[in-house]
Amino acid sequence: MEVARFWRTTGQRYQLKGEVCGNCGNKIFPPRDVCPTCDHEAKTPYTFSGKGEVYSYSTIHSAPEGFEKYAPYMVALVRLAEGPLITAQLTDVEAKDVQVGMPVEMVTRVLREDGERGMLVYGYKFRPAA
């Protein structure tokens, strides 16, 4: 990952920082500057709670490049409490225990290693809510 991109996306990866539309109030993640609902400018920062529920899920057995050593792993569409759907890995849960509608919360975990020197890349995952 390039250094500039790393620093530009830190808020998204560690705190679920997005934006809220000043026109219609739509909460947007990831930040886009233009509201996908009403096409107005949306530059007001918004930090999501990190709470949500599993909307759909799947187990990845054939992982993309850079994630091979983590397979199999679970990926879910999570509906955040504030509305947006986001894709994230599930952690701290067995596949047999995952259900649609299960409450989850965001946690920061290692996503992968990057580059020859093995820089650890952290980001958000979701675990069952306590």
Please indicate, yes or no, whether residues 69 and 126 belong to a single structural domain of this protein: yes
pLDDT (tens digit per residue) in 60-99: 999 888 788 888 999 999 999 999 999 999 999 999 999 9
Torsion angle defined by CA atoms of residues 39, 43, 45 and 47, in that order, rounded to the nearest 10 degrees: 20
Please indicate, yes or no, whether residues 82 and 123 belong to a single structural domain of this protein: yes
Domain housing 20? 1-47
Q: Is the pLDDT of residue 38 over 80?
A: yes
Angle formed at CA 66 by CA 128 and CA 105, multiple of 5 degrees: 15
Please indicate, yes or no, whether residues 55 and 34 belong to a single structural domain of this protein: no
For residues 68 and 38, give the distance between their C-alpha atoms in angstroms, rounded to a whole number. Answer: 40
pLDDT for the residue numbered 62: 93
Please indicate, yes or no, whether residues 69 and 118 belong to a single structural domain of this protein: yes
CB atoms within 10 A of CB 33: 9
What CATH number is attached to the domain comprising 86? 2.40.50.840
For residues 71 and 95, give the distance between their C-alpha atoms in angstroms, rounded to a whole number. Answer: 13
Confidence of residue 121 (pLDDT cuts 50, 70, 90): confident
Please indicate, yes or no, whether residues 91 and 124 belong to a single structural domain of this protein: yes
Please indicate, yes or no, whether residues 54 and 43 belong to a single structural domain of this protein: no
Residue 41 phi, psi dihedral angles, 5° rounding: -65, 135
When pLDDT is averaged across residues 54-61 and rounded to a whole number, the result is 96
Confidence of residue 40 (pLDDT cuts 50, 70, 90): very high
Please indicate, yes or no, whether residues 41 and 57 belong to a single structural domain of this protein: no
Number of structural domains, the chain?
A: 2
Please indicate, yes or no, whether residues 60 and 41 belong to a single structural domain of this protein: no
Q: Is the pLDDT of residue 10 over 90?
A: no
* Mean pLDDT lowest among 5-14, 37-46, 76-85: 5-14
| Residue located via tokens 């990926």 | 75
